[in-house]
Each structure stands twice: as structure tokens, then as C-alpha cells.
Structure 1
Amino acid sequence: MPVDVYALLALLSAFFNGVSTILIRQGLQDSTTHTGYWINLVVGVAGLWLAVLLLTPGDVFSIRALPYFIAAGLIGTVGGRFTRFLAIDKVGASVASSIVNLNPFISAGLAIVLLGERVTLPVLAGTMIIVAGTILLSSSGRQVGFQLRHLIYPFTAASCFGTVAIIRKLGLSETGPIFGSAVNMTTALIAFTLFLWASGNRQAMRCRGPSLWYFIGAGVAENTGVCLLIVALSLGQVSLVVPLSGTSPLFVLPMTWLFLRHVETLTWRIIVGSILIVAGVVALTGWR
């Protein structure tokens, strides 16, 4: 499979992740992280199981794949995605995005240790350049005041996302990406719904007004991105796919300028960060 196919899928995943970030930020103006996240999961479960019924042949259903994608649902979708919601709410989209996108380092290291992937110097250099670019891009946004302890949320999200890419890759050796995504999302929805009931926060499963539509849109965008990412992982190396999928700030900031220009403005950091990310993509996909 040519590298540009899964590279394109990974970049599309980053784009949809960026769209989701903008919509989440809008929805959180009048609602809570718990509500937004729960709606996100409901949308994902409905869409993915519909895709399974319409697009997935029966022979891809595998009991052996279930443990991998159940674990992926708990670690990546419950742990990673929920703490990403909290990070956007607590420290702001710019800071959250920059720290969460440190996850390629985690994935690349685990891919070497657990999957035996060979990470060449261009791949390593490209990963470092992309991460540097995303941090520079994200730091160009509006400064948001926050408490130091709140940084635990984006760092936790980065760790979860970095780890779950390896688990998904292992699961894809047993089943197809759409079925795996559906199991992943269903696990997360069941776990989070039980948490809301047990904690007495059942009102979090109710939402009205504009926030509802923002969260539904974010759910469609984010879950489309996750599905594209899993397909990309089924076609290419973790150490190549994950860094490319982590370029969402490259899309977040232009969309912020278009739709939320009163919040962030173009600066030299955006220009330099964009150049760094382009250079990183070239290093990853052009010189392996």
C-alpha cells in the first residue's frame, strides 16, 4: 500500500479532529464537559454500528479482537477523549492541543518496543518537527489563565492516545477497522453512562439549544476522524500514521481565525509552525 494513501487518511483524521475541537469549544459555552462527551459517544455508537451493518462483511467479526478494542475504548475513548474535553475546558484549546499532540512520541516508542517497527532517522526527525510545529502553532493562540494542576488533563489525554494507537494496531490483526471502532465506542458509552448513573449526574445526559447541535456536529466529526485513523493504522506503521494524525492544530487555528477570529489572530508563530509541520510531513512520507 503506497504511503500516501494512509498518510492522506491520517491527515483527514487530523482535519476532522480540528473541526470537532472548534465545535466542542462552541458547545461548552453553554453546557458541560460531561454532557458534551456523552453526546459525542452516542453519536459515535449510532453512526459506527450503522456503518457495520451496511459496509462490513460478516467474516470480519472476531471474538479474538474484542479484548483489544474493549481496552481501546476504556483507555483511548474514555480516558483520552474525556480528558481532552476537560483539557479544552480547563486550560483552553490552544494549550490543550499543543500538549495532547505530544502523543506521537509515546506511540513511536511503544511501536518500537511492542510491535518491532523500524523507526528510521527521517521518521524520528519528522515526528519531532511535527510536534515542534504543533506546539508552536498552538502557543500562538489567545493566552488562557489556568491552574498548574489542570495540566494533568492534556498530559493524561496525550498518554492515553499514544498508548491506544498500539492497542488498536494489535486489534486490527484480528478484525476490520469499522467493527473495531464500533466495539471501541460502545465500550466507552456503556462505561461512561454507568459512571454518570453511579455518580448521580444523570442530568448530564440532557441537552437543549445550540450546544446540542454543536456537540452532535462534534461527535460526527470526531468519530469520522477516529474511523479514518483506524483505517490508516490498518494500512501503515503506527510510527508514521500517528504523527500525521496529530497535526490537527494546523487545521484548528485557520478555522479559529475564520469562525472565532475575535479569540485568536494570525501571528508569526502560525507561519513558522505551518512550515515546520509541512517539513515534518515531507520527512515522514518522502524520505523513509
Structure 2
Amino acid sequence: MIPPTLPFDCGLAAPPAVCSLALLSTILWGLTPVVVKYALSRGGTPLQAAVVIVSVDAAVLWVVTTVLHGPAAVLQFSARAVGLFALAGAMGTAVGRLVVYSGIDRLGASINTAGVSTRPLFAVVIGAVVLGERVGQLTLVGAAVLTVGLVVLSLSKGGDVRGWQRRDLLFPLSAAALYAAANAVRRTGLDAAGTSALPAVTVNETAAVLVILGYVLVRGRTDELAAPRETYALFALVGVLTATGMVSLFTALEHPAGRLVVVDPLVAAAPLFTTAFAAVLLSDVERVTRGVVAGALVVVAGAAFVTLG
């Protein structure tokens, strides 16, 4: 199997601190889908994963936000900003994560994570259609490369050992679109609030918890929370790792040299780490073929082109 490689030499573009923080987020977010898949294979459910992971994630972020920014950090937002962050949480975190975990359950961690990495393409489409932003030639090249990567993944004969249908790729692609839309809404809220991203994301995750719990209660799906105790511990671990990755990412972006064009391509390399972790840790439930590795590499390259374009 090809070892994970990054799309460019970060050391030439940013200080070691920025590279290290971004790389930590990449590794953690590369590992979490593998832990989720392992828990799902042990009797967990996607809905249970969403409830536990987002709840733990929000709790950790509240603690970190309080320590770093003070207990009143989230009270400074206007009603409009809170509404935007809550909307982003409902779309990207609540619905988006539930779709992601369903995709991991069907496709496997490696293929689903590669599919979700098409998010920059959806972000560009939203920017062009909604905000009238210009689409450069490098972005168009990236879009073509991403398409090739998805085709390679669909033909890879890897992923979940139970097999999957090509239409199941709609799960990660839908999640990518939701994440991109939520990021656009969140960015609008940050522009209006003019504050650090961490308190905003704390509000975002809190709203997501409320949406997910409300959905469980209104739809009467509490039976899907009846799962082995082991899976709750695993999903809680994912929540801690996810929150740690977020804090690391925001710390990198808030560094004076933490440019988005440096950090985002690094984070987009997460599928390479997911593929490596899956090959080692999920050999009994997931096939990591050469096609999966090749597809992940092509998708990461395409995402980097789109981001840099």
C-alpha cells in the first residue's frame, strides 16, 4: 500500500507550528472514520454515532472555549449571528454527520472519507452560483481530477466487505455538499460577528446536538440508541478526537501565518490517513485495494487543485 503523502511541502509555505497543527487535525480526522466504522461493525448505529459524537464534541468545545475565551464568549453574538451558526450546525453537523456515518456504514471508512473530500468542489459551485465568485482554470482542472478520482473509487472493488452499490456514493457526496453549504453560512456569520471561530463553532455544535436529539424524540427512534456499551465508549472517543482536531485547526488558522491556502490542502489529505488506518485496523470489515488507494490519492489531488485555484 502507498504510504500517506501530503499534496505539497508545507514547510516551504508556512511555519512549522502551522504545519504541525494542521497535520494533527488531518491525522485525527483521518483516524475518526476508522474508529466509527469499527464501532458500527460491533453493533453501533449511525444515529447513535451522531448523538454521542456530536454531544461529546460540543461538551469538549464548551470547555475549551470557556478556558480560552472566557465563559461569556458566546454571549457576544447578535441574534442574527447565532441564527446563522445554528443553521450551519443543523445542516453541516446534524444532518451532515448523520449522512456521513450512514455512508461509513455502507461504503466503509476509506471510500466514504475520500468522497467527502470533494467538499471544496461544492464550495466553489456555491461561491460561483450564490456569491458570483470567479472560477479559475486550476479549479476546473481540480474538478476534472475529482471526477476521475470518484470513478476510480467506484471501480475499486474495495470498501465494506459486504459490498456496496455505486448509488451509495451519494452519501459522501451529499455530506460534502452539506458541509460546503454550512461553511458558507458559517463564514457569513463570522463576518457579521467579527470574532474568533471557536466560540462560533461551539454554538454550531450545540445547535446540532439539539437538532439531533429533537429528531430522535420526535421520530421516536430511541430504539436505535440501544447498542453495546463498547460502541458508546468508541463513539465518545471519536467525539474527543473530533473536537481536538477542530481546536488544532482553528489554532492553525488563527496563527499570523495560518493561511487557508496552506491549511486547507493539508486537511484535505485526511483520506490518505484513513486509507492507511483502515488497511491496518479494519482488515476484517473493509478491503483496501489498490483502486481505493489510487482513488483516494486522485481525490486529494483534485481537492488541492480546487482549493488552490
- TM-score bracket for this pair, using the shorter chain length: 0.7 to 0.9
Identity of aligned residues (%): 29
2:118/2:176 contact within 8 Å kept: yes
TM-score (norm 1): 0.79
1:186 paired with 2:206, answer yes
Looking at structure 2, the residues matched to 10 and 114 of structure 1 have their Cα atoms a distance apart, in angstroms, of 29
Residue 225 of structure 1 aligns with which residue? 245
Return the match for 1:50 from 49, 63, 67: 63
Structure 1: which 5+ residue stretches go unaligned?
none
1:145 paired with 2:163, answer yes
1:25 paired with 2:37, answer yes
Aligned positions of 1:96-245 closer than 5 A: 96-115=112-131, 120-122=136-138, 124-126=140-142, 129=145, 132=148, 136=152, 139=156, 141-142=158-159, 144-147=162-165, 150-173=168-191, 174=193, 175-205=195-225, 208-229=228-249, 236=259, 244-245=266-267
Structure 1: which amino acid aligns with 2:66? L
Looking at structure 1, the residues matched to 301 and 218 of structure 2 have their Cα atoms a distance apart, in angstroms, of 48
Looking at structure 2, the residues matched to 18 and 32 of structure 1 have their Cα atoms a distance apart, in angstroms, of 20
Residue 7 of structure 2 aligns with which residue? none
Cα deviation for residue 151 of structure 1 reads: 4.4
Structure 1: which amino acid aligns with 2:200? G
| 1:150–1:255 CA distance, 2 compared to 1 (3 A) | closer
1:77 paired with 2:93, answer yes
Looking at structure 1, the residues matched to 84 and 13 of structure 2 have their Cα atoms a distance apart, in angstroms, of 25
Return the match for 1:250 from 249, 272, 279: 272
1:62 paired with 2:80, answer no
Structure 1: which amino acid aligns with 2:173? F
Structure 2: which amino acid aligns with 1:251? F
Cα deviation for residue 161 of structure 1 reads: 1.3
Residue 6 of structure 2 aligns with which residue? none
Moved more, 182-191 or 118-127: 118-127
Deviation track 1:127-162 (CA, whole Å, cap 9, x = no partner) reads 654675577478473465235664443332121012
1:132/1:276 contact within 8 Å kept: yes
RMSD: 3.6
Deviation track 1:88-107 (CA, whole Å, cap 9, x = no partner) reads 11233344233322222110
Q: Secondary structure at the match of 1:172?
A: helix
Q: Secondary structure at the match of 1:28?
A: helix
Structure 1: which amino acid aligns with 2:215? F
| 1:220–1:69 CA distance, 2 compared to 1 (3 A) | same
Q: Secondary structure at the match of 2:283?
A: coil
Structure 2: which 5+ residue stretches go unaligned?
1-11
1:69/1:180 contact within 8 Å kept: yes
Q: Secondary structure at the match of 1:261?
A: coil
Deviation track 1:241-274 (CA, whole Å, cap 9, x = no partner) reads 6555333211111111222234556654466457
Deviation track 1:63-118 (CA, whole Å, cap 9, x = no partner) reads 24212211110110112111111111123334423332222211022234445655
Q: Secondary structure at the match of 1:210?
A: helix
Looking at structure 1, the residues matched to 117 and 300 of structure 2 have their Cα atoms a distance apart, in angstroms, of 16
| 1:186–1:206 CA distance, 2 compared to 1 (3 A) | farther
Cα deviation for residue 31 of structure 1 reads: 1.6
TM-score (norm 2): 0.75
| 1:280–1:158 CA distance, 2 compared to 1 (3 A) | closer
Looking at structure 1, the residues matched to 134 and 24 of structure 2 have their Cα atoms a distance apart, in angstroms, of 25
2:30/2:271 contact within 8 Å kept: yes
Matched length: 285
Moved more, 39-48 or 206-215: 206-215
Looking at structure 2, the residues matched to 160 and 233 of structure 1 have their Cα atoms a distance apart, in angstroms, of 22
